[in-house]
Structure 1
């Protein structure tokens, strides 16, 4: 995989990722990184968010690694459940960080249209990173989503929602999970060769 061009498609969650957010830092740090731009970050509509992700993936025929945060993780699951096969084949893997449980009782009303969360296995390797004190998704819920999606899982201690508010501006240690995902992708490719 290191020998072929990879495009990193970064998908923020509800309200976007400000300049101090680790996703913004990664956009500036990773080669060939692009941002999925949503028309409305404050009032997300599932169909619009899925369409924006699909347009970004389809914009060029380069293999993709998705890097999603919060509502972006749920958007990836919705997109994968209905995406055209030709675009699914471009996806090498997904790093899904701090998924938002849009089915939880205290979920903000703006996110309700993203429920129910797809329970289908993702058709590409994935690494799901959650926290044991994230108000957007309990550790138990993150483990359940990981099982449903077929993702490898890491639960961080005391990391909150893994965003600026929880002290994750640059989140350099997050690159370890991206590296782990890339190794998983490479191992899978070798098994298929």
Structure 2
């Protein structure tokens, strides 16, 4: 499947993505990509975030491919059952483990926990780091297995965000291109 034949919805996680974050760079590089703009980035509510994602999916004019980071991955897992008709696939990067107590100071995961373990009704690929402070490598593998996603070891890449040195993240773009090709 070609990027130009799809609407790419980029789903950031908890907090505002900083300028230079790979999600914002991908938005600028792919003409059919746009960021799902959530409200309450530091006190997210699953219902509100899911309503906004569904709205953006329904507004798409082409088949949709989701690209999610961190809490965005968990949102996709929770909402997959209502997204399945237009979504062709999901590329999931560095999911955060909100079932883990004290993951982020000031936010306990709210209604994003427990993290859904239901299989996704569309193809998915999960990229995980061996030293992500927000999700152990083993837990990320468990998510991939539960969701029916293929799994990619990103090595010691932290949370695969700007703070861990992943602004442009060219390896991610190459991996995403392979995922798109797999979608046919």
Q: What TM-score comes out, normalization by structure 2 length?
A: 0.94
Residue 105 of structure 1 corresponds to which residue in structure 2? 101
Residue 61 of structure 1: CA displacement?
3.4
- Deviation beyond 4 Å, 4+ runs, structure 1: none
Number of residues of Structure 1 aligned to a counterpart in Structure 2: 182
State the secondary structure of the residue aligned to 2:163: coil
Aligned to 1:73: 73
Q: Secondary structure at the match of 1:122?
A: coil
- Structure 2 counterpart of 1:168: 166
Q: 2:18 corresponds to which residue?
A: 18
Following TM superposition, by how much is the alpha carbon of 1:19 offset from its aligned partner in structure 2, in angstroms?
Answer: 1.6
CA distance in 1 between partners of 2:44 and 2:126 (Å): 22
Asked whether the equivalents of residues 61 and 90 of structure 1 are also in contact (C-alpha less than 8 Å), the reply is: no
* 2:91 alignment partner, SS class: strand
Match in the other structure for 2:57: 57
Alignment of 1:98-137 (within 5 A): 98-108=94-104, 110=107, 111-137=109-135
TM-score, normalization: structure 1?
Answer: 0.90
Is the counterpart of residue 139 in structure 1 residue 137 in structure 2?
yes
Aligned to 1:90: 86
Q: Secondary structure at the match of 1:10?
A: strand
SS of residue matched to 1:106:
coil
How far apart in 2 are the matches of 1:77 and 1:139?
Answer: 18
For 1:78 and 1:3, how far apart are their aligned partners in 2?
A: 25
Instruction: Give unpaired runs (5+ residues) of structure 1.
Output: 187-193
What CA distance in whole angstroms lies between the structure 1 residues aligned with 2:119 and 2:145? Answer: 8
Q: Report what 1:33 is aligned to.
A: 33
Cα distance in 2, alignment partners of residues 3 and 95 from structure 1: 13
1:30-66 superposed Cα distances (whole Å, 9 cap, x missing partner): 1211110111111111111111111110113310110
Return closer, same or farther for 1:51/1:139 CA change in 2, 3 Å cut-off. same
Q: Is the 8 A contact 1:162 1:168 kept in 2?
A: yes
Q: CA RMSD in A?
A: 1.4
> Alpha carbons of 1:88 and 1:158: their partners in 2 closer, same or farther (altered >3 Å)?
same
Q: 1: CA distance between counterparts of 2:55 and 2:16?
A: 18
Structure 2 stretches lacking a partner, 5+ long = none
